[in-house]
Structures are given as C-alpha cells and as structure tokens.
Structure 1
Amino acid sequence: MPSRTVRGAVDIAWWKSFRDVELSSLVERAAAQNLDLKTAAERVIQSVAQRQVAVSQALPHIEGQSSATYNRQSPNGTLSLLTPAPGAPLDYGLFHDGLTSSWQLDLFGRVRRAVEAADANALAAVENRHGVALATVAELTQSYMLLRGTQNRLGIAKRNLGLAEENVELVNTRFRNGVATTLDMAQARAQQATIAATVPPLRAREAKLINAVGLLLGEAPRALEAELRRPRIIPRVPRRVPVGMPGTSIRRRPDVREAEARLHEATAQTGVAVANFYPDVTLNGAASLESLHLANLFTPTSTAFAVGPSFSIPIFEGGRLRGALALSEARQREAAIFFQETVLRAWKEVDDALTDYREAQRRRIEIARSVAENQTALQAARQRYSEGATNFLDVTATQAQLLQSENDLSDSDTQIATDLVNLYRALGGGWEVADVADGADSAPMQTNMIDNGK
C-alpha cells in the first residue's frame, strides 16, 4: 500500500519514522558534531554580544581616571607671557584622581531602534542556525538513503552475476554435449563480464557516500567504513506522512523566519537613520581631586566637579544623513522583496515535493509489476533453452531486462525515501534537533532571551 500525506502536525523527529536505528544514531551525532552547525552556533553568540553592545548605548557610562605626572615649564614658552608668583618653581608634580560620566538621553528613539535591530539580527542568526540544522539532517538522511540504495544495487548485481555464472555453466554443459554453439558460449561469458563490470563503480559510489556521511559528522574519511559497510535494506517510508495545515506549514521553515527577521532588522535600521536627524542630549558629570602635593590630594580644597547637559544638533552634514536614510530605506525595500520571494519559493518547494512524492509512489507500482513479469519471463526462457526450444540470446535479453527492472525498483525505493526527505525539508521539519543536541545548551537560552524581549 503506497504511503500518503495527511493533515496533522509535522513530525519534528521525522527521521525516526523510517525506523532505522543506525540512521537515528547518525542524526543525533551530527547534531552534536557537525562543523557547520557549530559555526552557526558561534554566529548566534556573536549576534547576542552585538545586541549587548547596542543596549549599552542607553545606559550611563562612567570612567575613572588617575594620574601622577612630573612637569617642567619652559621660561621661554607661554610662561613668559605671565608673571609667576614669587618663588614659584618651574618643576612640579601634579596628582589627579577623578570620575567622569555621561548619559545619552534617548529622546527620539535612536538607541531603542538600534536595540530593536540588534534583536532582529540575533533572531535571524538563531533561525540561520536552525536552517543549517535542517539542511544537515536532510543531507545526512539523503546520503544514508543513497548509501543503502547503492548497497541494494550491489546486492542485485551480485545476485545477477550468480545467475550469469549459472548460465555459463548451463551453456558449457550443453556445449560439451554438442547442443550449444560457440555463439552461445560467447554470449553467456559476455553477459557475465558485463554484469561484473557494474560492481566496481557501485563500490566506489558506496565509499564516497560513506565519506559524505562522515564529513557531516565531522569525521575523517573512512572513519565510518566499519560501521556503514555492512549492507542494510533501504528504510521504508511510513504509511502516513503528516504535512501540517495549508497556509501555516511554511511558517515552520527557518529560511522564511530568517527573512522575516531580516526585514524587521532593516525596518529598525531605517528608524535609526530617521532618529539621527534629531538632536542628541547628553547629561555629563565629572568629579575629581587635583593637587600639586600628594599629601593634600584628598582634602576638601582639592575637589573639583562639573555637571550639566550637552546638546548636539546636526546643522550641515553635506547630505550624509539624507544619504544614510535613503540607503536604509532601499535596504528595507530589498528585504521586503526578498521576504516575498522566500515565501513564494517555499510554497513552490512544498508543492513540488508533494507532487514528486506522490508520483514516485505511482511509478514504483508499475516497476514492481515489471520486475515480477521479468522474473517469470527469465524462468521461462531458461527452461525453454535447457529444453532446446530457443536460443541463448532470448535468455540473455530476458536477464538484461530483469536486471534493469530490479535496478529501477531499487532506485525507485531510494527515490521515494529521498523525496520524503525533501518533503520534510520543504516543510521545515527537524531543525529542533539543534536545540536539544548535547553541547548546544546555550542556543536555546539565547533564543528564549530574544523571544522574550530581554
């Protein structure tokens, strides 16, 4: 009975539906070991740090200063314009300790919009990490399916090679009895060699796919050979595949959510550019101790302070502010177009994946029927040849058709499995594995912090 899609929540651990213990183990290890995923996690940490930098602009800044210098005035310099006090030395020490503070009042929302942009950038980094996780799981699963399909093709080739060897023995026996011809012997041996020649390319493909799986796990070439070289059947797809509800399924996709966050960031950056047209108001304060002698540095008479606001008003910027605003608005429009394109591409990929999966099921039914008929035909051809009712060319042609149909069936099973992986990838299922992987505990905390607006 073919697999079919149904409405329902998309399975976030869909690889387990194949009921392959080895595949589930590989996915769990990839979530913890994949190097692209680790790189994406570092980008999340960087974006959260950038957010903290943006937040700090809204807080008071306090700096401490302390200095002790030895100075000598030149009598021929600016001191010659003054009349020094009697006995005033040209050489003196100066001790200074103090605090300075400033607090920029965000009256027009420049800092608030900058923090909003940083929040959106951090959320986009989180979604990018989810997208990397989804791509990693899908690529790993597809490579695993192709590996099992290749191993299945190897099994088919070996089985048909055994049949070809039996044919050679059959023809050889008939040849010794004077029934078969030299042509029959040549055809039987040619068929055996042709089938044997298909094995080395399949072995090479098997080795490459094992290395592909190893790379996704951050392993060296051939590190997984002992584990994956043992052939297994192609994992069977589940009978029912939940694909979500129409209109909401693509909201799960990390690329759509990342594009939305980038649009939010671009909109906030436009707000920053608008706020730059307005004055900046800063509260300044300073308190210090200054003395020529260390002994009386900490006395009340050595204190000094300054308190007051400062205003910065852009009057003439040579078009810098207008250019920055035009640039931000253009980037916002670009982000909006990209978001629209991402949504449309997501719809297309989901629709294409559903069509491919459905049609692959129908194709397999016809191929399975072809295999059954070719098996019957080969048995009949071998029987008729052994009875002398036909020539060996019929046996050769029939076995070639059987080999082709068996390979087509194996490829069809592999195609159905990989099409289902493509469908889950299009639906955005499986990225949650990144948030529960060992060694990635910081990412969920960062995601919660951003989602909660902290």
Structure 2
Amino acid sequence: MRVSNFLFATILLLGSIGCSVGPHYNRPDVPLPSQFTAPAATGPADGAAKAEPDDPEFWHSFHDPELTSLVERSLSSNKDLHSALAHYDAAAALWRLSKFDKYPTVTASEDTGRQKLAADQAFGYPRNNRYSTSTINASWELDFYGRIRHNIEAQHQQLLASSNDLAAMQVAIVGEVASTYVDLRGQQERLRVAQQNADNEQRTVKLIEATYTAGRGTQFDTARARALYESTTARIPALQSAITLDEHRLAVLCGQLPDSLVSELGMQKSLPDLPESIDPGTPADLVRRRPDINASEERLHAATEQIGINTADLFPRVNFAGLLGMMEYHADSPFDGVSPANLAALNIDWSFLDRGRVKARIASSRADGDAQLAQYQQTVLLALEDVDNALVRYARSREQDAQLHKAALDSKRAADLANVRYKEGATGLLDLLDAERVELQAEDAYATSHLESASDAVSLYKALAGGWPQAHPSRP
C-alpha cells in the first residue's frame, strides 16, 4: 500500500511539472495624444538657448554655479533621500530573500542536556543520564504551480517600484531646491527694488523739506512725501523675512542646520537665466520617463503576480523533507551509546477542502489589481495634466514678463523726468510722487513676474522629470 501511494504521488508530481497558474502581466494600453498642445513660451531673452527635457542635469541650463552646488549637496546629504534609499535597500533585501525559496533550506541543530528522572519514572534504571543529539535538516518546496516564481517576480517589481520612488524623491528634492533658490533670488531682487525706491523717495523727502524751509512748500507736501517713503520701507521687513526663510529651507534640504547657509546665500545675486523655450517632447516619452508612472506600473505588475500566488493555493503544495542525525545517550543502561537517525519524507499539502477561503483571497487580489490599474491610469492622466498646466503657466508668464519689463523701463524713465521737471519748477509735487509710486509698483511687479517665470520653468522641468540623476544618492 505504501508503495502504491508513493507511485501515485510521483505520477501526480511528474504530470504537474512545468505548470504555472495565474495571469501573466501585460502592460496596460493607455491612450495618449501624439503631442502636447500647450502654447510655446515667448518672452525677453535671457541668453539661454532652447532646452531639451532629457538634457543631463537640467539645472545647468540656468547657468548658476551656486544653484548647481546646492543641488549636488542636497543629492548627497538630504535626509529624506537617505530615508528613501533605506526603503530601497529593504526592498532589495526582501527580493534576495524571496529568491532563496527556489532552493532547499538546510539547517543544523545541536541539543545537549542532562536530566534526572523521578524514581517512579526510571523503572529501575539510573535516574541520571546525559544525552546529545546532532541533526541536519533539509526541506524543499517544489514549485510546480509557480507560487514561488510569482512571489519572486512580485518582490522584484516592488524593488523596481522602490527604485522609482527613490528617483521620484530625487525629482522632488532637486525641484524644491531649485524653486526655493529661485524664490530666494527673486525676493532679494524685490528687496533691492524696494530699497532703491526707498532711497529715491528719501531724497525726495529731503528735497521737499529743503523747499519748505526756504518758504516755497507746505507741511502737507512734506507729509505726503514722507507717507510714500514710509509705505515703501514697510515692505522691506517682510521681504527680509522671506529671504531668511528661504535660506533656512535650502540649508535643511542640503542636510545642514537651518542657519548654516545664511552667510553664503546672503550676498544678493540676480535670478538665474531662463531658457527661451523648453521642449516637452511627446506624451509617450513622458510616460516612459516619469518615475511616479513607472512605480505605479510596477506595483500593478506586483499585484498581478499576487493573483498567481493566491491561485497556486488551489493546487497541491509539495515538499521534500530530509533529516540526518546522530544521537548519543549515557545513563549506564542498555540504551547507552551512539545511534544514527535519518528521515526522508514527501509531504503534499492540498487545501482543496478550504477552497472558499482560497477563492476569497484570489478575489481580493484581483480587486487589488483592478485598483492598481485604475491608479496607474490616473497617474498617467495627472502627469499629462501636470505638464500641460506647467507649459501654459510658463508660456503665459514669459509673455507677462515681456510686457512688465517694458512697463518697468517706461515708469523709471517717467520718474526720472518728473524729478528733473520738479527741480526746474515745471511740474508739481503730486506728479513727482505719483511717478515715483508708479515706478515702485512697476519694478516690483516685473521682479515678481520674473520670479514667477523662473519658478514656472523649474515646475515645468519637474513635471517633465527630464535630466534627473540616474545614480542613487550616496549613503550616509
């Protein structure tokens, strides 16, 4: 009978070899437009050429060594990146662990002890005895239905997803460094404009006070000039606060104490050069390039493999087990001595009587796969929306730049002429104060618009996810 059972099991196993259950992953087909339809950017040239989305390390297109230095420091020292890298290492370890399931598991054990039996347990033999047992155990699950293969592939896809999560974190960190640096330089430019206009208005106050002292003005004229000067100087503390906050943010992004970069970044510099245009490429290129889309697809793949893992539970799980050992017993009895032990076993575990639970797990994994598919499709749509919005913002901000740049030049020219005409007595104080007020508003509006254009350029690069470093950040 035992022989016939063994033959039946062997026939069953041989007939099952090579069978793998569960669905096979196919990349989902998401309809994509042939190209982006957002308008092209036009604006004042800053000396930069057309930029491509796949240019290596996009921040070099801004031609700012300080920005490049900050980006490099953030990539090597940012703590969020170190955390993402640790998650990647954990996923890599789990993948390596899953691959060991393809091979036999071999363990060894040693058990040595001494015991004293009760008088009524010894049955006339010595109550004190010593024993020692040494064994080598081996077990091996034969993967006839693909459970192990599906699990290894699922862990591999989770590893790839973690790798793309790390790349997406790099995109986020570098994007935040660039946008914060741009905001810092923009706020410094607005501060320069406010201080310059405050100096001009202070000179106007002194001029009006001198005129009043000479008997040709009124206290009303002096009060109005002082009010304009004081309203301009009131802008300065808020701008200084914004600059300090940006300096602190950049330091933390670089993995340093908040005030460590204040002296380095405190010197005022102009905004980085802006590219005249940024080629977004095609939507198909974007889908292949964005790490968040890749990570979502890899999690969909892993969910598909999980369906195969659960489906394999409908079929027998076959294990071979073996044991080799040696037992030594010392009690001054007939059982004393060393004796070998061995075991060879074939175990078939089949949950066919528990099919309800197995099918419930399969249904759950299929639902999770449907959710991952919807999430992948949504990620693609959000990426396309992200790029389209960034293209529109950058194009319109460059158009606004061009107009506000002309307005700032004209308002400065008008304020200079009003100052000359007032000194010559050809115009009144109201005209001079109004010209100075308009000059401040126009120059601040242009500085703010130029800041927004630079921020929109960074946002567009971030949306395109082009030119980002492919290597993993350095470990701490």
- Give yes or no for TM over 0.5: yes
In 2: Cα distance, 1:88 partner to 1:187 partner: 117
Does the 8 Å CA contact 2:53/2:465 hold for their aligned counterparts? Answer: no
Cα deviations by residue, 1:18-51 (Å, 9 ceiling, x for unpaired): 1111110000000001000000000000001111
CA contact (8 A) 2:135 2:326 kept: yes
* Structure 2: distance between partners of 1:68 and 1:364: 84
| Secondary structure, counterpart of 2:353 in structure 1 | coil
Partner Cα separation in structure 1 for residue 319 and residue 405 of structure 2? 78
| 1:18 corresponds to 2:55 | no
Letter in 2 for 1:273: N
Partner letter of residue 47 of structure 1? A
The residue aligned with 2:457 is 420
**Is the aligned partner of 1:288 residue 2:332?**
no
Q: 2:348 aligns with which of 311, 321, 333?
A: 311
Say whether 1:39 aligns with 2:83.
yes
Structure 1 position 430, deviation (Å): 4.1
In the TM superposition, residue 146 of structure 1 has moved relative to its aligned partner by 0.4
- CA offset at residue 378 of structure 1? 1.4
Report the alpha carbon displacement of residue 129 of structure 1 after superposing the two structures with TM: 0.6
- Does structure 2 retain, via aligned residues, the 8 Å contact 1:23–1:141? yes
Residues 2 and 10 of structure 1: CA distance in aligned 2, closer, same or farther (over 3 Å): farther
Q: 1:248 aligns with which of 280, 285, 308?
A: 285
C-alpha separation between the residues in 2 aligned to 1:51 and 1:23? 37
Pairs within 5 Å for 1:55-204: 55-74=99-118, 76=120, 88-204=125-241
Supply the distance in 2 between the matched residues of 1:138 and 1:66 (Cα, whole angstroms): 57
Say whether residues 1:54 and 2:98 are aligned partners.
yes
CA distance in 2, matches of 1:285, 1:167: 99
* 1: CA distance, partners of 2:104 / 2:440: 78
d(CA) in 2 for partners of 1:45, 1:120: 14
Shift of 1:8: 4.7
* Aligned counterparts of 1:243 and 1:214: Cα–Cα separation in 2: 31
Structure 2: distance between partners of 1:279 and 1:396: 91
Q: Would the alpha carbon gap of residues 436 and 102 (structure 1) be closer, same or farther in structure 2, given more than 3 Å must change? A: closer
> Hey, what does 1:337 align to over in structure 2?
374
Bigger CA drift: 66-75 or 417-426? 66-75
Report the Cα offset of residue 436 of structure 1: 5.8
Q: 1:324 aligns with which of 361, 374, 390?
A: 361
Output the CA distance in 2 between the equivalents of 1:361 and 1:169: 39
Matches within 5 A, 1:370-389: 370-389=407-426
1:279 maps to what in 2?
Answer: 316
Gaps of 5+ in 2: 1-42
Relative to 1, partners in 2 of residues 1:6 and 1:319: Cα closer, same or farther, differing over 3 Å?
A: farther
CA distance in structure 1 between the partners assigned to 2:127 and 2:258 by the alignment: 76
Deviations, residues 36-79 of structure 1 (Å, cap 9, x unaligned): 000000000000111122112222111112222334445646x8
- Farther off after superposition, 363-372 or 234-243: 234-243
Q: Deviations over 1:228-250 (max 9, x none)?
A: 00000011112343433342123
Which of 395, 405, 410 matches 1:358? 395
Q: For the residues of structure 1 that align with 2:116 and 2:301, how far apart are their CA atoms?
A: 59
Q: Which residue of 2 aligns with 1:451?
A: none
Q: 2:314 & 2:377 partners in 1: Cα distance?
A: 31
Cα distance in 2 between the residues matched to 1:436 and 1:330? 34
Partner deviation per Cα, 1:416-435 (whole Å, 9 max, x = no partner) = 111110001000124316x1
* Contact 1:354–1:423 (8 Å) recurs in 2: yes
1:62-121 deviation digits (Å, cap 9, x = unpaired): 1112222334445646x8xxxx6xx74444332221211110101111111011110011
Would you say the 8 A contact 1:250–1:428 is kept in 2?
Answer: no
What letter corresponds to residue 198 of structure 1 in structure 2?
R
Q: Determine if the alignment matches structure 1 residue 408 to structure 2 residue 445.
A: yes
* Paired residues for 1:385-400 under 5 Å: 385-400=422-437
Distance 1:167 1:301, change over 3 A: closer
> Secondary structure of the equivalent of 1:303?
strand
Question: SS at the partner of 1:276?
Answer: helix
- For residues 114 and 260 of structure 2, the distance between their equivalents in structure 1, rounded to whole angstroms, comes to 68
In 2: Cα distance, 1:138 partner to 1:276 partner: 46
Kindly indicate whether the alpha-carbon contact (under 8 Å) linking 1:28 and 1:437 is maintained by their aligned counterparts in 2: no
Distance 1:311 1:227 in 2: 70
Asked whether the 8 Å contact 1:281–1:311 carries over to 2, the reply is yes
- Alpha-carbon offset, residue 398 of structure 1: 1.5
Equivalent pair of 2:317/2:349 in contact (CA under 8 Å): yes
Identity of aligned residues (%): 29
Q: Which residue of 2 aligns with 1:449?
A: none
Aligned-partner Cα distance in 2 for 1:364–1:19: 20
Q: Distance in 1 between matches of 2:316 and 2:49?
A: 59
In the alignment, is the contact (CA less than 8 A) between 1:288 and 1:303 conserved in 2? Answer: yes
Q: Which amino acid aligns with 1:28?
A: E
Calculate the aligned-residue CA RMSD, in Å. Answer: 2.4
How far, CA to CA, are the matches of 2:299 and 2:159 in structure 1? 10
Paired residue for 1:262, among 289, 299, 315? 299
CA distance in 2, matches of 1:129, 1:437: 9
Residues in 1 aligned to 2:472 and 2:467: alpha-carbon distance in whole angstroms: 11
Equivalent position amino acid for 2:468 in 1: W
Check conservation: 1:357, 1:420, Cα contact below 8 A.
Answer: yes
